[in-house]
Amino acid sequence: MCRWPFIIEMQTMNDVENLANLYRDNLLNDVIPFWQKNSIDQANGGYFTCLDRQGKVYDTDKFIWLQARQVWLFSMIYNKIGKQQEWLDVALGGAEFLKKYGMDAEGNWYFSLNREGTPLVQPYNIFSDCFAAMAFGQLYEATGVDSHGNLARKTFENILKRRQNPKGTYAKGVPGTRNLKDFALPMILCNLVLELEHLLDASLVSETIQYGVNEVMETFYRPDEKVILEAVDVDGSFSDSFEGRLTNPGHGLEAMWFTMDLAERLGDKNLMQKAADITLQLMEYGWDKTHGGIFYFLDVKQKPLQQLEWDQKLWWVHIEALIALAKGYLHTGDERFTQWFDKLHAYTWSHFPDAEFGEWYGYLNRQGEVLLPSKGGKWKGCFHVPRGLFQLWKTLEAIGEKQQKLTVQHK
């Protein structure tokens, strides 16, 4: 397997062509082959996601989030990079496993299964449904098979029915005491609705976009503190509690590139500028000024947190932030994005990718040392890294094309 050189001259936005090539090569010559080689369960279908540093399986449970995300990823690269049958075969193998074992009788998606497909954890988590809808929507684009599209559409409709009470009977809170709503669902709907636009009525697409953008940008974003909260009261007010004070800078940054994509689709310059401004605010807020990198969790009032992992540096936070910064620069030309991008790119590439065995580490301590040498587990699978590498490759190429056009115009 081809490796990018571990000791590299750190590229900057001044060399956007080489930057784009780095992200492309890491995707196609390292990360995708790592998962193709190590994750396929040839005996039972679906994927192993609990992979150690070298890619060996250390646990065989199968988590619906990660099963569906890998179906989506391999369908996406088949659709957008090249019609390689081996990529489509990987997606189809996971999809068949999901269709056979992933849902209960009412069409709700379980949280986890054992290796053979027997349910382990009930369908309490609506994000299993979200990623299943993404998976089958993208697979429908690849295959044109109606059953894939119908399953994506049906699952999306179920998500909308459940969005006011996502956990349903599995919610632990006592009704009527502290009724909070979470940022994660409207955030993901901002992206999911674009994933499924080809399957949905235009009015439903428009309504879902309006709902998602309003919740993210008006309800959960707090302009006075310049942060995005993870939870608010159902009426949108601040809850001075552990949950209500919690912020996750990576979530906010991921949401901002979703919002920039929506702003581009809508031709909404004001929304684009607001998303760009919030991106810069969240980078300033979330950056660890002592050790570098982005904190996992913070308390908006600087109070102690419940999450003992609050100061860890996570793979997905950093690659999602890089996407937001690259898109911010593409759409605004503001040089502050290049300064932050160069700083974060240098941190990310000197800490997360594993030059010896491939893929990226997921979990670092605050000082940037590897906490867990594994490449996958219950939460990390074939999704954030390859999706991020693809997004960055294409965004950096678009920046290069824009720069070339400006150069020609000024001659």
Matching residue, tokens 């090539």? 21
Q: In 5-84, which ranges are continuous DSSP H helix?
A: 16-26, 32-38, 64-80
CA atoms within 13 Å, Cβ hemisphere of 285:
29
Q: Which domains does the chain have, with CATH numbers?
A: 180-352 (1.50.10.10)
Residue 291, judged by CB atoms within 10 A of its CB (0-12, 13-18, 19+), counts as middle
Q: In 215-248, which ranges are continuous DSSP H helix?
A: 242-245
Q: Model-level pTM?
A: 0.96
Total length of the chain: 411
In the chain, what is the straight-line distance between the N-terminal and C-terminal CA atoms, in Å? 43
Neighbouring-strand partners of residue 372: 363
118 and 64 in contact (C-beta within 8 Å)? no
Q: In 53-144, which ranges are continuous DSSP H helix?
A: 64-80, 85-101, 126-143
pLDDT tens for the chain, 411 residues long, are: 334 444 345 577 889 999 999 999 999 999 999 999 999 999 999 999 999 999 999 999 999 999 999 999 999 999 999 999 999 999 999 999 999 999 999 999 999 999 999 999 999 999 999 999 999 999 999 999 999 999 999 999 999 999 988 888 888 889 889 999 999 999 999 999 999 999 999 999 999 999 999 999 999 999 999 999 999 999 999 999 999 999 999 999 999 999 999 999 999 999 999 999 999 999 999 999 999 999 999 999 999 999 999 999 999 999 999 999 999 999 999 999 999 999 999 999 999 999 999 999 999 999 999 999 999 999 999 999 999 999 999 999 999 999 988 888 776
